[in-house]
A and B are shown apart, each in its own frame.
Chain A
Amino acid sequence: MNRHSRRRRRRILPIALLALAAALPGPDGMAADGRLLASGGATQLEGSAGGGIVPWAVLAGYATRDEIGATSYLTRVEVSDYALDSWGAALNIRNRLELSLSRQRFHLGTLGDLLGMPGASIRQNALGIKLRVSGDVIYSTWPQIAVGAQLKKNLDFSIPSAAGARRDSGTDLYVAATKVFLGAAGGYHLLVNTTLRSSSANQLGILGFGGDRGGRRLLGEFSAAVLPDPTLAIGFEYRQKPDNLGFAREDAFSDLFVAWFPNKRFSAVAAYADLGSVASFGNQRGWYLSVQANL
């Protein structure tokens, strides 16, 4: 089997999951749909439930303490010189534990052409685990708190290694606090999330882990959104990143998003993302599009 058809086969899984979820009957059946609309958030770049770039304390989908649910997602980011695909699936076990598997594929774009490798990409796998420690994002007085880990493995380490990355795998650890303040923004619901992450991942791990300028760091991430109605959220996110490679400076990520939750089966997020400097090209801005489907 050649490289190309193998690649195409791997894409069948998320697309099949999305199609299956969309084809199933409405949320009256046996689905894990007991939580309120939008309360599972969307899926962030490494496959954990959250906003677009930041993992939140919420767990994927709509399973309550009595239910088990599954969510799949597909995301594409296109900025000036690069593109990133991310796809995967997550299991929500009784709104206590989230297990996720995801794949990132970073298209080298302009850099690939410069390196004489047109069409080249760097792939990464991420295994996520998130435990809800306490609280309920909507109902408790205190925020919902979760701790999580993202275990990442870079699958195409030659370019990151040449750029000075130390390792091809690494584990991010984070604690997230998320709360919806009901009616708090002039009568509209306001969501606020703060995440503290320990990571050595260069550009999520796409450029490996650690480098000449350092290794593991403590990083802050922040999200806020207002819900104009129960199906819409408009907000922004900010994510600090390590800056470990002298050769390829790294900036914080930020984005401005609109998330749409027409029902509990399906959601879509569109954002304008600013990834800053990525692998020696500055001002990487562009579109972020993501869809989620819940089983």
Chain B
Amino acid sequence: MTAHLRAPAWIGLGMALLLGACASTPRATGSLYAQFGETAGLSALVDSLLERFADDPRIAPKFANTNIPRFRRLFVEHLCVILDGPCTYTGDDMREVHTGLDISEAQFNAVVEHLIDAMQAQDIPQTAQNRLIARLAPMRKDIIYH
């Protein structure tokens, strides 16, 4: 009998621990855009990202024919819009831009991992990082294997 009662008790304890784990990390404040340090923060983030791309043989070749200053400007705009910042994105849509690049699943994830590392280096709160990732994830289908 007790065995059957025990499982829900475990689940309750599990929930409590999970919530505890989350509550113990520093609270992120302000809008998502503010947590990324607005346009200045995003520019620094994209610069850090570009350095990581340049050093990664899985990614660098894809940018061989890219106008980097233009990419940098458009990528900042794009992130700013995704984070509900006061910007306008003036580039093309994701599917169009990445068509012909034949980006693999592994290359996509490599970019995500560089983004996570860059956000970590900028001390962006974990919850803000996760919310950006959540907004970028649905774009993957427009970016890989086209």
CA–CA, A254 to B126, complex, Å?
Answer: 29
| B24-53 at interface with A (beta carbon < 8 Å) | 25, 28
A224-241 with Cβ < 8 A to chain B: 224-226, 228-230, 234-236, 238
Find chain A residues with CB under 8 A from B127 CB: 183, 186-188
Cβ < 8 Å to B, chain A residues 172-189: 182-189
| Residue B64 at the chain A interface, CB threshold 8 Å | no
- B91: CB under 8 A from chain A? no
Q: How many residues of A contact B (CB 8 A)?
A: 38
> Is B106's CB under 8 angstroms from A64's CB?
yes
**What is the bound-complex CA distance between A99 and B115, given in angstroms?**
33
Chain B residue nearest in CB terms to A138: B137
Selected from A34, A228, A252, the residue in CB contact (under 8 A) with B22 is A228
Which of B105, B116, B128 touches A64 (beta carbons < 8 Å)?
Answer: B105
- Using CB atoms, name the residue of chain B closest to A180: B137
Which of B3-11, B70-78, B82-90, B92-100 lies at the interface with chain A?
B3-11
> Smallest Cβ distance from A181 to chain B, in angstroms?
8
Query: Is there an interface contact between B104 and A34, defined as CB atoms closer than 8 Å?
Result: yes
Asked if A34 meets B7 with Cβ closer than 8 Å, knowing A139-B140, A183-B130, A234-B18, the reply is: no
**Which of B13, B125, B137 interacts with A256 by CB under 8 Å?**
B13
Q: Which residue of B lies closest to A63 (CB)?
A: B106
Query: Do the beta carbons of B22 and A277 come within 8 Å of each other?
Result: no
Min CB–CB distance A35 → chain B (angstroms):
6
Whether A182 lies near B104 (C-beta < 8 A) is no
Q: Which of B7, B106, B116, B141 contacts A238 (CB 8 A)?
A: B7
Tell me the minimal C-beta distance from A138 to chain B in angstroms: 7
Do B137 and A230 have beta carbons less than 8 Å apart? no
| The 8 residue pairs across chains A and B that have the minimum distance between CB atoms | A187-B127, A34-B106, A236-B14, A182-B134, A251-B3, A183-B130, A183-B134, A64-B105
User: Chain B: residues with CB nearer than 8 A to chain A?
Assistant: 3-4, 6-7, 10-11, 13-14, 17-18, 21-22, 25, 28, 104-106, 109-110, 112-113, 116, 125-128, 130-131, 133-134, 137-138, 140-141
16 further contact pairs, Cβ within 8 A, besides A187-B130, A224-B18: A34-B105, A34-B110, A36-B113, A65-B105, A182-B133, A182-B134, A188-B22, A224-B14, A228-B126, A230-B116, A236-B11, A236-B14, A254-B11, A256-B10, A256-B13, A256-B17
Interface positions of A (Cβ within 8 A of B): 33-37, 64-67, 138-139, 141, 182-189, 224-226, 228-230, 234-236, 238, 251-252, 254, 256, 274, 276-277, 282
